[in-house]
Chain A
Amino acid sequence: MQFGIFTVSDITTDPTTGRTPTEAERITAVLTIAAKAEEVGLDVFALGEHHNPPFFSSSPTTTLAAIAARTSTLQLSTSTTLITTNDPVKIAEDYAMLQHLSDGRIDLMMGRGNTGPVYPWFGKDIRDGIPLAVENYALLRRLWREDVVDWQGKYRTPLQGFTSTPRPLDGVPPFVWHGSIRSPQIAEQAAYYGDGFFSNHIFWPPEHTQRMVEFYRSRYEHHGHGTADQAIVGLGGQVFMRRNSQDAVNEFRPYFDAAPVYGHGPSLEDFTAQTPLTVGSPQQVIERTLGFRDYVGDYQRQLFLLDHAGLPLKTVLEQLDLLGEEVVPVLRREFAALKPAHVPDAPTHASLVAAAQARPEAVPAR
């Protein structure tokens, strides 16, 4: 099982000091955080994509390439890549390039993006969100799997004899996850292709995640990729830890109360009871996280959100130390002991290359 962190790249005022980091500080901080994630033994770092303040991450492959240059084992991913407003041709090119530069240490998580104004900035209409996600992704798959593509669709200019370069490393496209908070159509899309499904699992109650994952698993089996319990599932999660749980609660509360997404609403206590947010000791985080398996089954990837809501870099790095030293080693051991042998790990470049070589022909186009 893979463990890691994901960031939305928000630049938020620290509510305890009133200080807002500059873009330069926050961008540098994210490079530091990613390097630290590898140092403390985490597997994955995923970066969001946004095209409006207060976020900085408009150009994820640039940032991820810089991180790739500073790390050697960390798997790099996105959270998410906007499959609706990005040109699939540019996604194919950019991420194949990143795949080469990182020596295969990348995968992607596709998302639609739910910020209405972003769509027209890129010549799109939010009402076409699902059809855009369907058409663009179908084209992206072909661009990575076929050397020469003739294509015509509804949402971009046709392609004649187009070759996306560079070609995927070792002829194997990056693994793709599909992230969705609420759209069963996206779970269906992930299941159809046998891709991974990532549930945000931060904002909403566990019952909701459970239902979405169940749906994805049953459709994964329906589409013939394996049994439902072999489907590739990832979960988000949100934690804040101190050795004494009351210290964690006291320190995190002002950040929670003013947080951009859920602040000024329910109390910290209510929200931790209603959603997977855990604020407390490392042991509490371990117990809560092991409990996720009770409602989604054996899963392949767990990403935590740590750097948000204005938390200072120093605090985030301390959180990473606790995660890497006290939490993840236990989770790794416990989850591994529970997982049946027929449940696969999350695909990596190495496993995809091995699978491709085991087939009589090259990876078939779909």
Chain B
Amino acid sequence: MSTRTLAVVSGGLSNPSSTRLLADRLTAATVAALRERGEDATVEVVELRPHARDLADHLVTGFPNAALRTAIGTVVGADGLIAVTPVFSASYSGLFKTFFDVLDKESLIGTPVLLGATAGTARHSLVVEHAMRPLFSYLRAVAVPTGVFAAAEDWAGAGAEQALAGRIDRSTGEFADLIAGRPVAAGPADRFAGTPSFEELLEGA
């Protein structure tokens, strides 16, 4: 049995936040699904709200301060990433996008990612497909086929709640399969390791 690291990025701003609530449901179900597959998991949650100013500073200065550097290190070194955003104006929130804007664009290549979004109305239910999935395709992460969207009504009635639970189980099962099928993550890559020698540079490598 190996131990996998799960990073959870939650873009919710309120407390309690339905985004964080969904993130927690996805996390618990993933840990359970991994255990069924013989894998232990440790979980690190990155709430973006405390990093709002850090992220704005990064946009201006071009480097992360110590707190944000720690959060980024958590995400880029994980075996799997659960990324959950509230829907703002028909897409992921600006804060959520900013976090992924400041990552090295090669840092999530091949990482399994479970996508989740929350909104006040089910009319945003395709946001996972039309907004989040292209973002993670660009980052060449491996997004789980089933994304999980939860509107206000999913938290309310018994029938809707069951439908959400079914989507959570299906997505986290797919997610756990992806993680369990891969070698344990080695942590963040050394960005100097791939530097070509000067002989290769001269030859146009």
Asked whether any CB of chain B lies closer than 8 Å to the CB of A134, the reply is yes
Interface residues as binary, A181-198 with B (CB distance below 8 Å gives 1, 0 otherwise): 000110011011000000
- Whether the Cβ atoms of A188 and B56 lie closer than 8 Å is no
Q: Does B195 contact A (CB under 8 A)?
A: yes
Task: Decide: B63 and A205 in contact? CB cutoff 8 A.
Answer: yes
Q: Contact between B195 and A188 (Cβ–Cβ < 8 Å)?
A: yes
Query: Which residues of chain B from 160 to 202 have a CB within 8 Å of any chain A CB?
Result: 191-192, 195-198, 201-202
Compute how far the CA of A131 lies from the CA of B61 in the bound complex, rounded to whole angstroms.
27
Q: A138-B202, A215-B192, A266-B57 are in contact. Are A188 and B197 (CB under 8 A)?
A: yes
B97 to chain A, nearest CB (A): 18
User: What is the CA–CA distance of A47 and B183 in the complex, to the nearest angstrom?
Assistant: 51
What 14 new A-B contacts, CB under 8 Å, besides A188-B201, A215-B192, A270-B57? A130-B201, A134-B201, A184-B195, A188-B197, A188-B198, A189-B198, A191-B198, A203-B62, A223-B198, A262-B60, A265-B56, A265-B57, A266-B60, A266-B61
Which residues on the B side are within 8 Å of A189 (C-beta)?
Answer: 198, 201
C-alpha spacing A215/B192, complex, angstroms: 8
Is A274 engaged at the interface, CB distance under 8 Å to the other chain? yes
Bin chain B's interface residue count.
Answer: 10 to 19
* Contact flag A274-B65 (CB < 8 Å), given A138-B202, A189-B201, A265-B57: yes
* 8 sample A-B contacts, Cβ–Cβ < 8 Å, listed by A number: A134-B198, A188-B197, A189-B201, A208-B63, A262-B60, A265-B60, A271-B61, A274-B63
Contacting residue for A215 out of B60, B61, B195, CB 8 A: B195
Cα distance A215–B201 in the bound complex, in angstroms: 16
Considering only CB atoms, which chain A residue lies closest to B62 in the complex? Answer: A203
Question: Contact check: which of B59, B63, B191 meets A184 at CB < 8 Å?
Answer: B191
In the assembled complex, which residues on chain A have CB atoms less than 8 Å from the CB atom of B191? 184
Q: How far is the CA of A263 from the CA of B59 in the complex (A)?
A: 11
Please give, as numbers and ranges, the residues of chain A lying within 8 Å of B65 by CB-CB distance: 266, 270, 274
A264: chain B residues at CB < 8 Å are 60
A323 to B56 alpha-carbon distance, docked (Å):
34
Q: Is A51 an interface residue (CB 8 A)?
A: no
Contact with A along B40-60 (1 / 0, CB 8 A): 000000000000000011011
Interface residue B66 (Cβ < 8 Å from any Cβ of A):
yes
Residues of A within 8 A of B (CB): 130-131, 134, 138, 154, 184-185, 188-189, 191-192, 203-205, 208, 211, 215, 223, 262-266, 270-271, 274
Q: Across the interface, do A265 and B61 meet the contact criterion of CB distance under 8 Å? A: yes
B194 closest partner in A (C-beta): A184
Nearest CB in chain A to that of B202: its residue: A134
Verify B61–A262 contact, CB threshold 8 A. yes
Interfacial chain A residues near B16, Cβ < 8 Å: none
Measured CA separation A192–B61 after assembly (Å): 31
| Nearest CB of chain A from residue B98's CB, rounded to whole Å | 13
Does B157 belong to the interface (CB within 8 Å)?
Answer: no
Minimum distance in angstroms from A358 CB to a CB of chain B: 26
Task: Report A-chain residues with C-beta under 8 Å of the C-beta of B59.
Answer: 265
Give Cα distance in the complex from A266 to B64, angstroms.
11
Task: Show the binding face of B for A, using Cβ within 8 Å.
Answer: 56-57, 59-63, 65-66, 191-192, 195-198, 201-202, 204
What's the nearest-Cβ distance from chain A to residue B204, in Å? 6
Give, as a whole number of angstroms, the nearest-CB distance from A188 to chain B: 5
A184: chain B residues at CB < 8 Å are 191-192, 195
Residue of chain B at shortest CB distance from A211: B192
Bound-state Cα–Cα, A355 to B152, Å: 77
Chain B residue contacts of A223, Cβ below 8 A: 198
Contacts of B60 in A (CB 8 A): 262-266
Chain A residue at minimum C-beta to C-beta distance from B63: A204
- In the complex, chain B residues whose CB is within 8 Å of the CB of A203: 61-63
Which residues of A sit under 8 angstroms from B61, Cβ to Cβ? 203, 262, 265-266, 271
- Complex Cα distance, B134 from A352, in Å, reads 56
B201 lies within 8 A of A204 (CB): no
Find out whether the CB atom of A185 lies under 8 angstroms from the CB atom of B201: yes
Give Cα A191 to B191, complex, Å: 18
A130 CA to B191 CA, complexed, in Å: 16
Asked whether, in the complex, the Cβ of A188 is within 8 Å of the Cβ of B63, the reply is no
Closest to B66 in A: A274
Residues of B within 8 A of A205 (CB): 63
- State in angstroms the CA–CA spacing of A158 and B66 once bound together: 50
Q: Which residues of B contact A274 (CB under 8 A)?
A: 63, 65-66
Q: With a CB–CB cut-off of 8 A, which chain B residues contact A154?
A: 204
A204 to B60 alpha-carbon distance, docked (Å) = 12
Taking a contact as CB atoms under 8 Å apart, the answer to whether B195 and A185 are in contact is yes
Q: Which residues of chain B come closer than 8 Å to A204, judged between CB atoms?
A: 62-63
Interface centre among A208, A223, A265 (most CB of B within 10 A): A265
A138 to B202, CA, bound (A): 9
